[in-house]
Amino acid sequence: MKTKATIWGFVNSVVDGTEGTTWITPKVTAQQLLAEALKEASTLIHLASPHQILSILDAVNRFRPSETADSSSSFSTSNKSHGLSNVNKPTPSASSKGTAGGGHGFSSSGSVTSSDSQHNALCQQNAYMSKQENAGARPKQYKATSKFKTSESSTKKSSKKGVIVKTMRDNLLCPICLDLLENAKTLPCQHVACKKCLEPWVASKGQLRCPTCNTRQKEPVGGVHGLPSNFMMNNLAAEMKKLDTQDEIETDFTFDYTSWQSIPVAETSYLEILGKQFKVKGSTAKVKLQFCDVQGQPIRGKSRDGITAFVIHPDGEKIPILDVAFRKRTGDYTVSFAAEQIGTHSVEVTLNGESVVGSPSKIVVRPNGIMDRTLSPTLHAPKGILATPDEIYVTDESDKVYVQTDWQDDWDGFGMDKPHHKEFTQISPFGIAKCNDKLLITDSYNNCIYVYVHMVCMTNFGKRVMEQPTGIAVSKDGTIYVADCASNTIDVFLPNYSHKRSIDAKGNGSLKHLALNQSEDRIIVADDKTNVIKIIDVNSEKVVKFIKTRISQALATPFGVALDHEDNIYVSVTFDPSKLTPKKGTAKHFRRKGAVMVYNSIGYFLGTIGEKELINPRGICLINDDDDSPRLLVVEGGDSESQFGCIKVFSL
């Protein structure tokens, strides 16, 4: 790319050959300088926001590389401020090297061959044209030819280009994922961010708040989807990817948390790294760390000796990081690791025993579930699901409990019309849990819990206590927790089925499925009436956390709840993406959608699964084989959109 910039009496060009021609304009106003910069940097003119333009110009104005002339006489520049631009006046120097001055204005980016006579002639021309301009005459332009040494240090040229490219790249990074913008959306405050990042960001905040300036923004019609797309920023980000060179390569790399990858930075070619990026495209966990000193400058040294790095997993395990790359030219230290699990990781880095500025750094590894298969039994109104590596149990509100054995191979359609009772009993099964060799199933019709052994009813309990039982979970010590939809309480039963107490879930809610966080003695329950997930402390019997379920500002109705072995919370939700228009008040019809939202144990939003595959998800469960990756099973159906029910299996 060829660029030119004009400054009073001084030549400033970057050309691809050994000789270049520039125009010398005696005096440049701030407006002319801005117009010239935008005109000549043709690949950079598509900035949509004034924030980026001002940031880039400010960075370029501060850019003052040193130059080496190829003759005994060279120029050194001094500055005088004229508004927003500076005037650089060439003065003779006996030194063989010239240094571009500080202040504001563009500096030279090539070595200029000159002589004293040429210098005097230029000064006379500049003085004459300044006088003509002051008298109201239109300034003339003089054509000057200058030679540029392209055989000098290529490292200096790379550094000069690198400053501009890096500045541009920094202004094209999404403030949430810290990667180049993708499908950029413009907020009312004129800041931008990726659409895929804004959706979980808004869901975690419960409102549209700018990730850059942290100000609350007015929610447009349609939530994040209704924000205007910034096509110019998208185009510029695409062009920036093309401008990346080997000298300026960075360890921009994303991982799915199930991936095991290493990133040799300095020794790997650009094309090889692009190939690795393509292989993990769609991952959401960014694991790039680059630390600077307190002035914001890269840490510099002669080697990577003395660097020690650790990653602390969400479960508190501290593991050393061996992949520490050092770039001698820039002095950058880059620490990379492959995360095993979703959640918030903390990375600690020390240099010669002292903590690096920016350490510890928090990295959020987000879920990236992929649907493997669909099991299609004849389900009509499924409510709950329980699965082991060998069996699947599905409760169906239409008086049935389906059982499938050896489901890993295929669903063979085997099912039981209903569990066996000694006498005819109409039931409406909802929640299901297993305790040793017994199945516990809640019945929202008879308002009790049935106990089955080999699908034969042995007993029931809770009829005089509960009004409409729904979700059920059993702790390791055999204590049974049952959600009561009608009374908005959690009923606690001892292993001998005697009632112990009732925990008030607060508010006027309607409880569905629940799960137990046994490491913290907490109950996580879905409330589909108030669209929240409630975290209840078992000991204090108080609601310690309310999690509002939203997807792109659309309220999402929670139903199923499950926890993984790290106590991350999985919640099945349904939502309607339609929004009322503010003028007419009429709703545009959108097909109802579903998803599984994922939070960490304290309620921090991590991401969504199955937003494209799910329509009306109901109960969910997780299984984790020792020889395989964790899997999420979601039963859905029971509405006009999804028609017949099915089970969808996601690999995590």
520-548 tens-digit pLDDT = 999 999 999 999 999 999 999 999 999 99
- 23-37, 288-302, 309-323: which has the highest mean pLDDT? 309-323
Confidence of residue 156 (pLDDT cuts 50, 70, 90): low
Has residue 466 got a pLDDT over 50? yes
pLDDT given at position 642: 58
74 touches 114 (CB < 8 A): yes
**Mean pLDDT of the 626-649 span:** 78
pLDDT given at position 80: 37
Omega prior to 228 cis, within 30 of 0: no
pLDDT given at position 448: 95
pLDDT given at position 63: 47
What gap in Å lies between CA 482 and CA 511, rounded to an integer?
10
Has residue 283 got a pLDDT over 80? no
Has residue 116 got a pLDDT over 60? no
- For 606, list phi and psi in degrees, rounded to 5: -110, -30
In words, the CATH class of domain 370-651 is mainly beta
C-alpha to C-alpha distances, 475 to 175, 391, 429, 519, nearest whole angstrom? 42, 20, 21, 11
Average pLDDT score over the chain = 68
pLDDT given at position 534: 96
pLDDT given at position 176: 83
- 132-136, 197-201, 331-335, 385-389: which has the highest mean pLDDT? 385-389
Q: What angle do CA 105, 106, 107 make, to 5 degrees?
A: 120
CATH 2.60.40.10 residue window(s) in the chain: 245-366
pLDDT given at position 535: 96
Which residue, chain included where needed, has tokens 């790039």?
288
Confidence of residue 360 (pLDDT cuts 50, 70, 90): confident
pLDDT tens, position by position, 158-193 = 555 566 666 777 788 888 877 788 889 999 888 999
- 103-112, 321-330, 547-556: which has the highest mean pLDDT? 547-556
- For 522, list phi and psi in degrees, rounded to 5: -130, 150
What gap in Å lies between CA 366 and CA 256, rounded to an integer?
8
Has residue 480 got a pLDDT over 80? yes
Number of other CB atoms surrounding residue 7 within 10 Å: 26
pLDDT given at position 26: 41
Confidence of residue 357 (pLDDT cuts 50, 70, 90): low
What gap in Å lies between CA 540 and CA 569, rounded to an integer?
21
pLDDT given at position 389: 80
C-alpha to C-alpha distances, 488 to 467, 468, 503, 540, nearest whole angstrom? 10, 9, 9, 17
51 touches 85 (CB < 8 A): no
Q: Report DSSP letters for 563-606, one per residue.
A: E-TT--EEEEEEE----B-TTT-PBPP---EEEEEEE-TT--EE
534 touches 510 (CB < 8 A): no
Has residue 210 got a pLDDT over 60? yes
> Where does residue 553 fall: left (phi above 0), alpha (psi -120 to 50 degrees), or beta otherwise?
left
Has residue 622 got a pLDDT over 90? yes
What gap in Å lies between CA 319 and CA 341, rounded to an integer?
13
Of 76-80, 89-93, 403-407, the one with minimum mean pLDDT is 76-80
Q: Report DSSP letters for 470-518, one per residue.
A: EEEEE-TTS-EEEEETTTTEEEEE-TTS-EEEEEE--SS--EEEEEEET
**Mean pLDDT of the 322-347 span:** 65
What gap in Å lies between CA 464 and CA 634, rounded to an integer?
32
- 41-45, 75-79, 252-256: which has the highest mean pLDDT? 41-45
Has residue 68 got a pLDDT over 50? no
Has residue 617 got a pLDDT over 50? yes
Q: What angle do CA 244, 250, 255 make, to 5 degrees?
A: 115
Of 12-21, 297-306, 596-605, the one with minimum mean pLDDT is 12-21
What gap in Å lies between CA 345 and CA 315, rounded to an integer?
9
What are the DSSP E strand ranges found in 283-405? 285-286, 289-290, 307-312, 318-320, 324-327, 332-335, 343-351, 354-355, 361-365, 370-379, 382-387, 391-396, 400-405
- 99-108, 291-300, 402-411, 641-650: which has the highest mean pLDDT? 641-650
Strand partners, 171: none
Number of other CB atoms surrounding residue 433 within 10 Å: 22
Cβ neighbourhood burial of 102 (10 Å; 0-12, 13-18, 19+): middle
CATH number assigned to the domain with residue range 172-243, chosen from the 4 options 1.20.210.10, 3.30.40.10, 2.100.10.30, 3.40.50.1110: 3.30.40.10
Strand partners, 631: 623, 651
Higher local confidence (pLDDT), 308 or 251: 308
CATH 3.30.2320.50 corresponds to the domain 245-366: no
**Mean pLDDT of the 551-555 span:** 79
Higher local confidence (pLDDT), 593 or 315: 593
Position 148: which residue type? F
Contacts with 635 (C-beta within 8 Å, 6 or more apart), sequence order: 379, 382, 384, 385, 394, 617, 618, 619, 620, 645, 646, 647
pLDDT given at position 619: 96
| The token pair that represents 322 in the structure block | 């061996």
Element containing residue 212 per DSSP (H, E):
none
Higher local confidence (pLDDT), 466 or 251: 466
How many CA atoms are closer than 13 Å to the CA of 25, on its beta-carbon side? 13
Q: What angle do CA 414, 418, 419 make, to 5 degrees?
A: 105
pLDDT given at position 159: 55
Comparing CA positions, the residue from 40, 34, 45 lying closest to residue 20 is 40
Cβ neighbourhood burial of 44 (10 Å; 0-12, 13-18, 19+): buried
**Spacing of C-alpha 357 from chain mean position:** 23
Which residue, chain included where needed, has tokens 């055999």?
478
pLDDT given at position 639: 66
Has residue 555 got a pLDDT over 60? yes
Higher local confidence (pLDDT), 305 or 399: 399
pLDDT tens, position by position, 412-448 = 444 554 566 666 678 889 999 999 889 999 999 999 9
pLDDT tens, position by position, 366-401 = 777 888 888 877 788 899 999 888 888 999 887 677
Strand order in the sheet with 593-599: 550-551, 554-563, 569-575, 593-599, 605-609
Of 3-17, 155-169, 601-615, the one with minimum mean pLDDT is 3-17
CATH 2.120.10.30 residue window(s) in the chain: 370-651
8-state DSSP, 207: S
Position 171: which residue type? N
Has residue 615 got a pLDDT over 70? yes
